[in-house]
Structure 1
Amino acid sequence: MDKVVFLLFVLSLGVSSQPITDSQRLFSIAVSRVQHLHLLAQRLFGDFESSLQIEEQRQLNKIFLQDFCNSDYIISPIDKHETQRSSVLKLLSISYRLIESWEFPSRSLNGGSAQRYQISQKLSELMRGVQLLIKANQDGAEIFSDGVVPQLAPYGNYYQSLGEDESLRRSYELLACFKKDMHKVETYLTVAKCRLSPEANCTL
């Protein structure tokens, strides 16, 4: 069953349908996918920010720096040194949690419906790919050995009826958090992929 899912994942990315057993190849696909998602996140955030007045940008950025993203409840490395010390399985597991946490909120990102659909599809493909990488690197270990995976609420009261100012803040926070989390996943998967190449320099 895993081989079938893996093949579908590869085909969905336009890669050769020849059987692939090298996890380095799957890592490359996953990194490429999250890089694309990160670029989309940056573009959406940039477009939204450019539609704001300068004072609005300043105030929203100030508020965001004092606020938290839902995914901050997912325990992850606090800096690049801890990231480099983390095991491949740990980096993959954290990446999976971060991707999964956006499965529902991504449908409400500011932007066109076509972009939201594209992001949703890419997140699903990436999640399946990372899940396969976890299984390949698991070797009998528990995927989430540090406790129960937290069930994150869909960004608080984002879906409630909000005033204009509050709605603006929520949209800003959602886009900023998505960009932040895709950057995290890109970093973790890149470091994990690098670990498969002993001669590579995996410094950040």
Structure 2
Amino acid sequence: MAHGRWNGRKPFITVLYVVAVCSGVPVSDLLDRASQHSDKLHSLSTTLTHEIDSHLTPIGRMLMPRPSACHTSSLQTPSDKEQALQVSESELLSLARSLLQAWVDPLVVLSSSANTLPHPAQSKIINKIQELQEHSKNLGDGLNILSGKMDPATQTISSLPYRGGNDIGQDKTSKLIKFQFLLSCFRRDSHKIDSFLKVLRCRAAKLQPHLC
């Protein structure tokens, strides 16, 4: 469903891409827009994880896999803002793009699985997952434009394939656990993306590190 909607918008997105590149939109403006989308991504994922967690049993929380089991955990990233400030602009953008790309397939799994999720706010969750996909797609388009304006090293994207399959489980508990686990991994990564973009925006504005 989500792919169909986006396929219909590809010509429009392509036009936006060409216009943005040719019109010489400043990098600082592109970073501002990207940060707005990354803010929304993290906010939505946080809201969703809280929504699901409220319906998990204590046993369900105990059975939740550790964050190290997230499919993006193999990617070496700065652990905090201080470390991020020591990383080059090209590497930060490459890391953000790698993380975002790694979530294309898992977000499809979340979107298709939401229809069978045993949760009283199912329709609300479905809508928010679709919003996640939309903001993720818009952010990806924006970062593609940014990478074309920055160092060629930003074109490098690490491959982080998702091998979790499309099945989130058969019984109520396993469905909620896997759905929540995927969301919690996405929330963690969306926070990283948002932090990296804020550091890039800070540097583009030529602010002192302690103000970032």
The alignment's TM-score, normalised by the length of structure 1, stands at 0.78
Aligned counterpart, 2:137: 124
Whether the aligned pair in 2 keeps the contact of 1:71 and 1:98 (CA below 8 Å) is yes
Q: Work out the CA distance in 2 between the residues paired with 1:116 and 1:65.
A: 22
Q: Work out the CA distance in 2 between the residues paired with 1:32 and 1:7.
A: 21
Distance 1:4 1:160, change over 3 A: closer
Q: Work out the CA distance in 2 between the residues paired with 1:142 and 1:36.
A: 23
Q: Work out the CA distance in 2 between the residues paired with 1:25 and 1:35.
A: 15
Q: Work out the CA distance in 1 between the residues paired with 2:139 and 2:211.
A: 24
Between stretches 107-116 and 128-137, larger displacement belongs to 107-116
Aligned counterpart, 2:71: 70
Provide the aligned length of Structure 1 versus Structure 2: 187
Please state if 1:46 is matched with 2:44: no
Q: Which runs of 5+ in 2 are unaligned?
A: 1-12, 115-121
Please state if 1:183 is matched with 2:191: yes
Query: How much does 1:104 deviate?
Result: 1.7
Amino acid of the structure 2 residue aligned with 1:127: G
Whether the aligned pair in 2 keeps the contact of 1:89 and 1:137 (CA below 8 Å) is yes
Distance 1:3 1:194, change over 3 A: farther
Q: Work out the CA distance in 1 between the residues paired with 2:160 and 2:101.
A: 10
Deviations along 1:145-178, one digit per CA (max 9) or x if unpaired, are xxx7324124x24526544443332112111101
The alignment's TM-score, normalised by the length of structure 2, stands at 0.75
Aligned counterpart, 1:86: 87
The CA RMSD measured in Å over matched residues stands at 2.8
State how 1:1-204 maps to structure 2 within 5 Å.
Answer: 4-6=15-17, 19=23, 21-53=25-57, 55-56=58-59, 58-60=61-63, 63-65=64-66, 67-109=68-110, 110=114, 112-138=125-151, 140-141=152-153, 143-144=155-156, 149-154=158-163, 156-157=164-165, 159=167, 161-202=169-210
Q: Work out the CA distance in 1 between the residues paired with 2:33 and 2:176.
A: 35
Amino acid of the structure 2 residue aligned with 1:25: D
Q: Which runs of 5+ in 1 are unaligned?
A: 10-18
Query: How much does 1:21 deviate?
Result: 2.1
Deviations along 1:176-195, one digit per CA (max 9) or x if unpaired, are 10111110100000001111
Query: How much does 1:72 deviate?
Result: 1.1
Q: Work out the CA distance in 1 between the residues paired with 2:48 and 2:67.
A: 22
Query: How much does 1:70 deviate?
Result: 0.6
Whether the aligned pair in 1 keeps the contact of 2:93 and 2:154 (CA below 8 Å) is no
Deviations along 1:86-124, one digit per CA (max 9) or x if unpaired, are 111111111011111111211333553322222111111
Whether the aligned pair in 1 keeps the contact of 2:56 and 2:176 (CA below 8 Å) is no
Amino acid of the structure 1 residue aligned with 2:44: L
More helix by share: 2
Distance 1:115 1:149, change over 3 A: same
Query: How much does 1:73 deviate?
Result: 2.1
